[in-house]
Amino acid sequence: MAESQGTGVARGNLVRHHYVCHALPERRRPLTSCHRTSSSRPIRSRAHTRAGFRGRLRLSCGVAGLAALLAVGGMAALPVSAQQTPYEVTLTGVEDTSLRDLLQGTATLFRLNEQPPPSPIGLRRRADADRERLLTALRSVGFYDGKVEIVVDTTVEPAKVNVAVETGPAYTFDRITVAGAGGVALEGAPITAADLGILVGETALAAKVVDAESRATNRLSERGFAFAHIAERKAVVDHETRTMDVTYIIDPGPLTRYGDVSVQGLDQVTEQLVRNRVPWKPGEEYRPEAIEEARSSISGLGTFSSVRVGLDREPGPDGVTPVTITVAERPRRAIGAGFSYSTEDGFGTNVYWLHRNLFGGAEQLRVSATLARIGENDPTDIEARLNTNFRKPDFLTLNQSLILDATLLRERPDAYDRDAIVLSALLERKLTDGLTVSGGVSLEQSSVTDNLGGTIDSTLFGVPLHVSYDGTNDLLNPTRGFRTDLLVTPYKQIGGEGSIFSIARLTNSAYYDFAGDGRFVAAGRFSLGSVFGSSTAAIPADKRFYAGGGGSIRGYGYQDVGPLDSEGEPTGGRSLIEVGAEMRVKVTDTIGIVPFIDGGNVYDSPTLDFSEELRWGAGIGARYYTAFGPLRVDVAVPLNKRPTDSSWQLYISIGQAF
């Protein structure tokens, strides 16, 4: 048999062969080596190259194609020479769009078309090198008998290059075999072809062959075999039947059990706090989700910048393996600041000081100060708030926090004037990864003057009850999942008329990522509220519902949606409905645009009164995405504007609207 002479061009007689591909001895190596096992009649070859044959008839079986494609993708751009051979290149024989994209992204003839080689010889060399790249790409998607012919014509200017591809039939998977190393059966850890994600009869994609290895070891890990690995992989391509057989030889290792736990990296945090968050006992069977549960729970303390939880590299005797928790503590103290702006309320700013580990048990003390309504209002209407918040984790039991809060505030919205001191004590318990409940007591001394002409000086005793679920993937910029928040607070007035009333509010928001990469995200919000037990006039104005503003119904001023007095000032109500929808589109990695629409209203009755129409606002926003969350700029207009409403509103803040 004559061997081929030259890059990618077969000359003389070729012989069809049956190839067996064996995995190299290193664990999980995606490349394969091949040897010839059989042959049939010789075939006369034209000036083309088969996808399964090149040079000495070595076959990569497509599995090596992934590595080759990655290597091509990482090639540096060629320098531009003063002497160039410009060319036009076409691809024929391929109609499938995804395959065309793959081949054009693989071949330097297409990728470097705007950087022509310095000479006709350089162009031919580029074409010769691309033949094997294209064959590798064909094999990677199951075309093991494809042909590539590249014709270069340098007699014209620009030169003409035609890449002709015959894919041939797609090869399919036939037999998928899983066996234990050394012929030992995988007792207690059976793996099927379905576990590998490979189906008999589907196209023999190289990525499927490689991905099946991690699927197999992950499935074994889920069954307690933490040190399972692929000892050998054999892939056999049969050109007569146009099929591929794959055999995986798996070494499951011992059934793993948890051994002793060691904690490294602690400085100011007590070790027992970390150990309390380990969800297993020594000797229990290994579960990978328990490792992640421990990592997430320890990270949730907020005092560590990094947390790693892992088994030792080698299994211990009888599979009992030590576990190491490695942490890095964050700086104990931090300061921060934020800002906001709207055309209705002017500028707002807040600063805070935080201690993350006050007594060694990850106790947090946060002191914050806020100023609002600056610049757009009379200086006497500037709002101020001073807050101190203390949180002690694992209070009395695991995943339960004690929260003590004290607030001194001055509020001057259009609806009322309020000066108050508010104290509260809560127990917050985390039931699941996203579900949290809390309850406690609050005591509030306040003086509130509203637009109805009355001033209420009162002492209120409250029992706040809160249930929240957060199934989103990010606090400030969620792209998938949903949130639900329910707050119910009964109040009893101490002294005076001793009135009793309750406030309930339910808020839901949901997020859907169309492309899976955060570039096209639909977001929606829905909120209902009710105050019941007393008349509107008997309820302090700050406990009534209001709507309008950047976090409510954009297009309207802060608190401007709902009942108004004779001068057009809001009086608040006892029931509320809000809805909103956005389409968050990322133009680049850091810039986004957000068209949106909001609607809702506030009613004087404790139940919704749909005889009054909803107020709607719409607009468009811009987002600048940073490491700490998106910067938000929204412009909105009221769609059913009242005479007292402004024609447009501008909002600037940090974080999404919801």
639: left (phi over 0), alpha (psi -120 to 50) or beta: alpha
Query: Please, are residues 33 and 25 in contact by the beta-carbon 8 Å criterion?
Result: no
Instruction: Give the separation between CA 133 and CA 127, rounded to whole angstroms.
Output: 10
Q: Which residues fall within 8 angstroms of residue 182, CB to CB, at 6 or more apart?
A: none
Taking residues 634-652, report their average pLDDT. 94
Side-chain half-sphere exposure of 499, counting CA atoms within 13 A = 16
Taking residues 347-367, report their average pLDDT. 96
Taking residues 223-250, report their average pLDDT. 94
pLDDT at 482: 97
Alpha carbon 417 to its chain's center: 42
Question: DSSP alpha helices (H): ranges in 223-263?
Answer: none
pLDDT at 621: 97
Query: Please, are residues 148 and 138 in contact by the beta-carbon 8 Å criterion?
Result: yes
Taking residues 271-282, report their average pLDDT. 96
Taking residues 358-363, report their average pLDDT. 96
pLDDT at 247: 94
Mind listing the pLDDT tens digit for each residue in 559-599?
Answer: 999 999 888 889 999 999 999 999 999 999 999 999 999 99
Beta partners for residue 421, in sequence order: 408, 445
Instruction: Give the separation between CA 10 and CA 43, rounded to whole angstroms.
Output: 11
pLDDT at 48: 40
Cα angle 89, 132, 128 (rounded to 5 degrees) comes to: 55
pLDDT at 39: 34
Tally Cβ neighbours within 10 Å of residue 264: 10
Which structure tokens are listed for 479? Answer: 């792209």
Instruction: Give the separation between CA 474 and CA 658, rounded to whole angstroms.
Output: 12
Q: In a 3-state reduction of DSSP, which class is residue 288?
A: helix
Instruction: Give the separation between CA 170 and CA 97, rounded to whole angstroms.
Output: 16
Q: In a 3-state reduction of DSSP, which class is residue 183?
A: helix
Query: Please, are residues 200 and 175 in contact by the beta-carbon 8 Å criterion?
Result: yes
Q: Domain 257-329 is of which CATH architecture?
A: Roll (3.10)
Q: Of the given ranges (51-60, 61-70, 137-146, 365-374), which has the lowest mean pLDDT?
A: 51-60
pLDDT at 189: 66
Using alpha carbons, list the distances in angstroms from residue 137 to 35, 103, 104, 121, 245: 21, 7, 10, 25, 20
pLDDT at 503: 98
Mind listing the pLDDT tens digit for each residue in 142-197?
Answer: 999 999 999 999 999 999 999 999 999 999 999 999 988 877 777 666 787 778 98
Instruction: Give the separation between CA 184 and CA 513, rounded to whole angstroms.
Output: 45
Which structure tokens are listed for 288? Answer: 């990978």
Alpha carbon 528 to its chain's center: 29
Residue 395 above 80 pLDDT? yes
Question: DSSP alpha helices (H): ranges in 38-119?
Answer: 65-73, 97-106, 108-111
Residue 550 above 60 pLDDT? yes
Mind listing the pLDDT tens digit for each residue in 472-500?
Answer: 998 888 999 999 999 999 999 997 777 89
Is-above-0.75 flag for pTM? no
Is 172-251's fold the same as 437-654's? Answer: no
Mind listing the pLDDT tens digit for each residue in 85-133?
Answer: 999 999 999 999 999 999 999 999 999 999 999 999 999 999 999 999 9
Q: In a 3-state reduction of DSSP, which class is residue 580?
A: strand
Which structure tokens are listed for 118? Answer: 């310095």
CATH number at 172-251: 3.10.20.310
pLDDT at 188: 66
Residue 534 above 60 pLDDT? yes
Tally Cβ neighbours within 10 Å of residue 339: 12
pLDDT at 65: 44
Beta partners for residue 160, in sequence order: 88, 153
Instruction: Give the separation between CA 427 and CA 392, rounded to whole angstroms.
Output: 10
Q: Which long-range contacts (CB under 8 A, 24 or more apart) does 642-645 make?
A: 643/568, 644/560, 644/564, 644/568, 645/556, 645/557, 645/560
**If you average pLDDT over every residue of the chain, what do you get?**
86
- Domain residue extents for the chain: 13-166, 172-251, 257-329, 332-412, 437-654
Query: Please, are residues 422 and 404 in contact by the beta-carbon 8 Å criterion?
Result: no
Q: In a 3-state reduction of DSSP, which class is residue 207?
A: helix
Question: Dihedral sign, CA of 217, 222, 225, 226?
Answer: positive
Which structure tokens are listed for 377? Answer: 């209002």
Closest C-alpha among 626, 454, 441 to residue 539: 454
Instruction: Give the separation between CA 39 and CA 19, rounded to whole angstroms.
Output: 9
Taking residues 514-532, report their average pLDDT. 96
Instruction: Give the separation between CA 414 and CA 412, rounded to whole angstroms.
Output: 7
Mind listing the pLDDT tens digit for each residue in 403-456?
Answer: 999 999 999 988 899 999 999 999 999 998 899 999 999 999 999 998 776 788
CATH number at 437-654: 2.40.160.50
Side-chain half-sphere exposure of 331, counting CA atoms within 13 A = 5
Mind listing the pLDDT tens digit for each residue in 2-57?
Answer: 333 333 333 222 222 232 333 333 333 333 333 333 333 332 223 344 444 333 33
